Structure 1
Amino acid sequence: MSAKKVLIVTGDAVEALEVYYPYFRCKEEGFEVDIAAPHQKKLNTVIHDFEDWETYTEKPGYKIESNKTFADVDPSDYDALIIPGGRAPEHIRMNEELPGIVRHFFEEVKPIAVMCHGSLVLTTIPDVVKGRKMKAYQACKPEVESIGAQYVDEMDFVDDNLVSGHAWPDLPAIMKEFVKQVKGTTVNT
């Protein structure tokens, strides 16, 4: 039996924990993991934290290598999708290749994990997200609702194959469910 394949779609300004934690967690499970971005390069990550501001703060983080471009991705080669947050989603969603990639995972009912601002990527495919329930960073609530999805006020949420969370503190719960789904033990369709 071949290893499960997971695709992470992101770009510069991805939240460091939201790309590194899922990447290493999937590798720990023996999954093959590709990181796709608009360009194949070392991506700049950012560290978002909740300090004494009324919003999160941002600092430079580690670099992480993208080993594929969106143009090189055939989504049918993958068993699951991860969309991390940070500021990357606001600009990668403009890439003409990305909506078709993400759409594939919804239409084929494959496991999808979306963290924080990752929900912004879904604004390009409202027809397949309409009616779904999900969690996202609180500032993304208007975008979630504008695409016809229901914003849920829980820290992490499972709607069949869509696992979503508010921010990086939700990663343990998100990844626990996501790993179960990739292994084929919990998806209800």
Structure 2
Amino acid sequence: RSSLVHKNLPTLVVQRFSGWDTYEEKQAYLIEAHAAFADIDPTQYDAIVIPGGRAPEYIRLDADLQRIVRHFFEANKPIAAICHASLIFETMPDLLKGRNLTAYTACKPGVEALGATYVSDSTVHVDQNLVSAHAWPDLPGFMREFIRLLQK
């Protein structure tokens, strides 16, 4: 459900909840990336989906990813962020100050440190152009709300 880039071969990772308050991960598929963040012109895109899992922990440090994400906030285009995607926002705290979002429960302190309000009473939340969700079990509602944003 997430990707870790290694030599242009993102590794998809299958996450499964183990019955405790955490999950376990197993390697899934290797796929070839079609473009690097440096090659992306965000003005050519209408929306962005930021996946969760382990990838945000690593890719958030990429200046080109920060440039891309910043564009979607500043242009008020639809943004979908699920699970650990909120880690990416920690590199751009000015974008989330005063906003409301949800994320994987363990990300709550990071969301609040951004000056945002962590929404805990719903697993899917929409705040203006940003739809956020806790984790992959919330994908149906998450995508429904994201499609609504796209239709506006």
| Identity fraction in percent | 52
What amino acid maps onto 2:9 in structure 1? K
Change (3 A) 1:11 1:62: closer
Tell me how far apart the structure 1 counterparts of residues 86 and 57 of structure 2 sit (CA, whole Å): 9
Query: Separation in 2 of the partners of 1:45 and 1:117?
Result: 15
Paired residue for 1:177, among 126, 145, 148? 145
1:22 aligned partner: none
Contact 1:134–1:163 under 8 Å retained in 2: yes
Structure 1 residue 75, shift from structure 2 partner? 0.8
Secondary structure in 1 matching 2:115: coil
CA contact (8 A) 1:116 1:168 kept: yes
Query: In the comparison of the two structures, how many residue pairs are matched?
Result: 150
| Structure 1 residues without counterparts, runs of 5 or longer | 1-9, 13-36, 185-189
Residue 22 of structure 2 aligns with an amino acid whose one-letter code is: T
Q: Which of the numbers 30, 43, 49 marks the counterpart of 1:82?
A: 49
1:124 shift after superposition: 1.1
Tell me, what secondary structure is at the counterpart of 1:124?
coil
What is the CA–CA distance in structure 1 between the aligned matches of 2:37 and 2:67, rounded to whole Å?
Answer: 10
Structure 2 regions of 5+ residues with no counterpart? none
The answer to whether the Cα contact below 8 Å between 1:38 and 1:70 also exists between their aligned partners in 2 is no
The answer to whether the 8 Å contact 1:47/1:58 transfers is: yes
In 2, the alpha carbon distance for the partners of 1:132 and 1:160 equals: 9
Match runs of 1:30-179 below 5 Å: 41-153=8-120, 154-179=122-147
CA deviations on 1:32-88 (whole Å, 9 max, x unpaired) are xxxxx696x231011111113331111112233321101001111110011000100
Distance 1:47 1:82 in 2: 18
Question: Which consecutive aligned stretches of 4+ in structure 1 deviate over 3 angstroms post-superposition?
Answer: none
Relative distance call for 1:109 and 1:97 in structure 2 (3 A) is same
CA change 1:173–1:65 in 2 (3 A) is: farther
Give the superposition deviation at 1:132: 0.7
Cα distance between partner residues in 2 of 1:38 and 1:52: 30
Compute the displacement of 1:100 (Å).
1.2
